[in-house]
Amino acid sequence: MSYSMQEQENKLSLIKSGKWYDFPEIYNLFSFSEDKGERCIGYVLDYIKKNDLKIKNPVDLGSGTGKIYDQLIKEMNYNGDVYLVEVNPNMIQYLIKKYGNEVKVLKSKIAEFQLKEEKSNFIISSFGFPSSLFDHENCIRELKNVYQNLTDDGIFITIGWNEKWDDELSLMWKNYVCDNSIRRINGVRNCNLKWYINDIKTSIRFDDFKQRDFVLHTLFGEKAKEDFANSTQLEWSMHMGITIHTKKQLKTILKGLEKENEGN
């Protein structure tokens, strides 16, 4: 889609219209403004170091514009191939153009991706897993597929919200997109995961007002841009959380979820 069409779309919030992933350049500005101090990436790098992980075939689920590859995977030692799992055709095109043969882009849903040659011992997702937080069945399907693609010594990491919706960015969401806090979920990431670290205090921070206004306008809509027209705010707090599970722990969680299903 061209930028002029995009301008027309922007009268509405692209998030609200469900089209924000169709515009990788805009999404990229948002994504790389989140957790700019890379606190969450820091925790994961520390975990890798502390546990002396020997990573093989790292996989990033719901890669978007490649934040996890750029900020984390490139910083770690690993063997084998890097896999970026993404479903949106525009994001896929963006990733292929950005990285060429450096990575393997898997055009697939998280619930369906398959590592054909070798499994991975390191599957991670930043704001990608689960792909639809309030769809419990799909969360389980995705978790099962992660399990299938992990080696026996593998781990699964998610980086995302703390799920309390108690930060300033969640308030923006509530004001301009929808209120997530009123929706019920079944445990962490809606599939009974456990926190490794929760309530990580970080923020989304824009470089300048031009960037801020562009992102507010396009992603949150015209009203958001107008509401902040006289404000000097460039930063909104974000409260994030990280989960880390071994394959063995995922097995126990999946068994528990199956039992819950049988009971319903």
Site residues for ligand SAM per CB under 6 A:
21, 31, 62-64, 67-68, 85-88, 91, 109-110, 126-128, 131
Residue 71, CA distances (Å) to 45, 179, 215, 231 in order:
10, 30, 21, 31
Q: How far is the CB of 123 from ligand SAM (least distance, A)?
A: 13
Phi and psi torsions of 195, nearest 5°: -70, 140
Task: Give the dihedral sign, CA 25/40/205/168.
Answer: positive
Q: How far is the CB of 62 from ligand SAM (least distance, A)?
A: 3
Residue with nearest beta carbon to ligand SAM: 64
Shorter beta-carbon distance to ligand SAM: residue 89 or 256: 89
**How far is Cα 102 from Cα 31, in angstroms, rounded to an integer?**
21
Closest to ligand SAM by CB, 128 vs 262, is: 128
Min dist. Cβ of residue 41 to ligand SAM (A): 10
Q: Which is nearer to ligand SAM, 132 or 175 (CB)?
A: 132
Cα–Cα distances in Å, from 104 out to 10, 33, 108, 136, 144? 32, 25, 12, 29, 22
Closest to ligand SAM by CB, 87 vs 257, is 87
Q: For 178-201, b where at least 16 C-beta lie within 10 A, e where not — what string?
A: eeeeeeebebbbbbbbeebbbebe
Q: What angle do CA 50, 54, 32 make, to 5 degrees?
A: 75
- Given a contact cutoff of 8 angstroms between Cβ atoms, the answer to whether 92 and 86 are in contact is yes
Compute the least distance from the CB of residue 122 to ligand SAM, in Å: 15
Residue 46 vs 135, nearer CB to ligand SAM:
135
Minimum Å distance from CB 262 to ligand SAM?
A: 26
To the nearest whole angstrom, how small is the minimum distance from the Cβ of residue 150 to ligand SAM?
17
What is residue 194's three-state secondary structure?
Answer: coil
> Nearer Cβ to ligand SAM, position 70 or 227?
70
